[in-house]
Amino acid sequence: SASTSPDAPAEVASAGTPATPKGLAAEATRRRTFAVISHPDAGKSTLTEALALHAKMISEAGAVHGKAGRRSTVSDWMEMEKARGISVSSTALQFNYKSGESEPNDPISVINLVDTPGHSDFSEDTYRVLTAVDAAVMLIDAAKGLEPQTLKLFQVCRHRGIPVITVINKWDRPGQTPLELLDEIHERIGLTPTPLYWPVGIAGDFRGLLRRGEDGAPQEYIRFTRTAGGATIAPEEILDADAAAARDGSDWETAVEESELLSASGQDHDQEMFLAGQTSPVIFASAMLNFGVRQILDTLVALAPAPGPRDDIKGASREVTDPFSAVVFKVQAGMDTSHRDRLAFMRIVSGVFERGMVVTHAQTGKPFTTKYAQTVFGRERSTVESAYPGDVVGLVNATALAPGHTLFTDKKVEFPPIPSFAPEHFSVLRAESASKYKQFRRAVEQLDSEGVVQVLRNDIRGDAAPVMAAVGPMQFEVVAARMKAEFSVEARMEGLPYALARRTDAESATELGRQRGVEVFTRSDGVMLALISDKWRLQYLQKELPELTLEPLVATA
Ligand code: G4P
């Protein structure tokens, strides 16, 4: 269980460790670990607050990310990074939840919400977080529909086979019609939306939700009442069809008709199709007014998969009841003297984690003590005593750990590495002063091994001017700031006019090197990458020189 401080996650595990396989399986079964994928401004922070409010973790929305605090977080990200060594958005939030439909004897669910850093700090971490979750909530602004960042993250979910629940947010504001929004999802990403709840009232006049049964038939009308500023849970009234018709006549009837239309086109929930990533349950909501938030939690508990077995590097399955194992999915370095540490975040795959236990680092075979295990939530860090499959734990001063690394006890295991994602930003890095070249090299090596940026080299540019490749431009600023703080090296950066990277090989390299707007590099893991100025140049190359190898990199390309 976690120690309590005002902002810390609520106590989760009951006293006594379920050392038995049965106890362990039960702990895993009651957990749901997910991330919200969205474009900036869709309402992720607001939804996070609302979810935590529903889980009764905090008494009033706004305590998680005070609005003022949130704004400063976005604009002062580097300041935060410097001051705290963590960004507010880099955390995993854990809370207990008892679903409305559960029986009195059903166990309380444990929800782990792993945050995807977004906004200006969009980086490889944003993608890596998705390797630590079992499901994703795709949050869409009802007026804007699908937006670029959402699409990128969705592609990673698809690639990794992560089931997606769709939430259409801001239904309290004028937006598109619900059917238009569903069409857009279906046409643009080929995911079949299967609404579980259908809005009563058009966007901008949100009355409540029609709950659809498995066959699409209306089950009940959940009618919401606004509270002042949405700061408390919105009261719900549950009405049957007759009472609904009497109450909100034409709005209710429209909802019933549209729901029938969905059934006619086969848009009813199917659990297998959902888990296979073919369909996506849909919920309409207003995070701001707290409408539909309980329904999101209930859906996660009812439909999202619990932590399950994971394949290791040899394809053998590590069961949740096996001895402890975990995967590191993110490493964050402290910049501040009082927090001069590195936090490695791991997701537990199997077994029980207990603070203080000695685990083995699979990549080096060395023992690693876990005396300083923490959950990091907002600005608060609190000590973790024990954790179970699906949980996220931060390890302090974990210098040897990098994203994709495995930790285990008893039964050796190594999980597959996390793929590096297609970079879209490229920059040459140089030490300001030649006398610091040694430190500069060490810094580059260190940041490369941590996966802060990808490091590319070629013979023409030489070792003194490696090229950094990143998913988001903020990663470069992190590099420069850390070089200065930790290695006392002032580094200069010059952006390069490339926008795309493609995997290539030695055979194609010579010909590619002759092309305009193309440069070939070798990444530190040995993969050859062709950087290309823009998509038109790429199309030209593919058309004129089809024999050349130009393969998309993972997922986001
Ligand atoms: P993000 O983390 O995804 O970037 O989004 P965030 O929650 O910060 O929300 C972005 C803006 O959208 C905020 O308004 C927020 O209040 C608003 N918002 C979020 N959910 C809803 C909703 O369900 N309905 C409506 N009407 N608005 C919503 P802002 O004006 O940028 O900031 P603020 O002044 O409200 O803090």
Ligand 1 atom closest to 286 (CA): 23
pLDDT of residue 341: 65
Q: How far does the centroid of ligand 1 lie from the alpha carbon of residue 161, in Å?
A: 29
State the pairing for strand pair 218-224/208-212.
antiparallel
Exposure string of 38-73, with b = 16+ CB inside 10 Å and e = fewer, is: bbeebbbbbbbbbbbbbbebbeebbebbeeeebeeb
Q: Does 438 score more than 80 pLDDT?
A: yes
Q: How far does the centroid of ligand 1 lie from the alpha carbon of residue 518, in Å?
A: 41
Q: Does 15 score more than 90 pLDDT?
A: no
- CA-proximal residue: ligand 1, atom 35 (nearest): 67
Considering only CA atoms, give the Rg of the chain. 24
**Top mutation candidate among 38, 46, 77 for ligand 1, by most atoms within 8 Å of CB:** 46
Percent of the chain with pLDDT over 90: 55
Mean pLDDT of 392-408: 87
pLDDT of residue 5: 37
Residue 11 confidence class, pLDDT cut points 50, 70, 90 = very low
Two tokens, residue 15: 């006293």
Q: Does 544 score more than 80 pLDDT?
A: yes
Lining ligand 1 with CB less than 6 A are: 38, 40-46, 67, 169-170, 172-173, 286-288
Q: How far does the centroid of ligand 1 lie from the alpha carbon of residue 228, in Å?
A: 16
pLDDT of residue 286: 96
Ligand 1 atom closest to 40 (CA): 4
- Rounded to two decimals, the pTM is 0.85
Residue 495 assigned as binding residue: no
Range with lowest mean pLDDT among 379-383, 403-407, 501-505: 379-383
Q: How far does the centroid of ligand 1 lie from the alpha carbon of residue 388, in Å?
A: 33
Residue 117 assigned as binding residue: yes
For residue 51, which of 100, 5, 108, 112 has the smallest C-alpha distance?
A: 112
For residue 551, which of 533, 538, 534, 536 has the smallest C-alpha distance?
A: 538
pLDDT of residue 75: 27
Q: How far does the centroid of ligand 1 lie from the alpha carbon of residue 38, in Å?
A: 12
Give the model confidence (pLDDT) of 184-226 as tens digits.
999 999 999 999 999 999 999 999 999 998 778 899 999 998 8
Q: Looking at 351-453, which runs of residues are DSSP E strands?
A: 353-354, 358-361, 366-369, 373-377, 380-383, 386-387, 392-396, 406-408, 425-431
CA-CA distance, 548 to 557, in Å (whole number)?
Answer: 18
> What is the ipTM for the molecules in this complex?
0.97
Ligand 1 atom closest to 38 (CA): 3
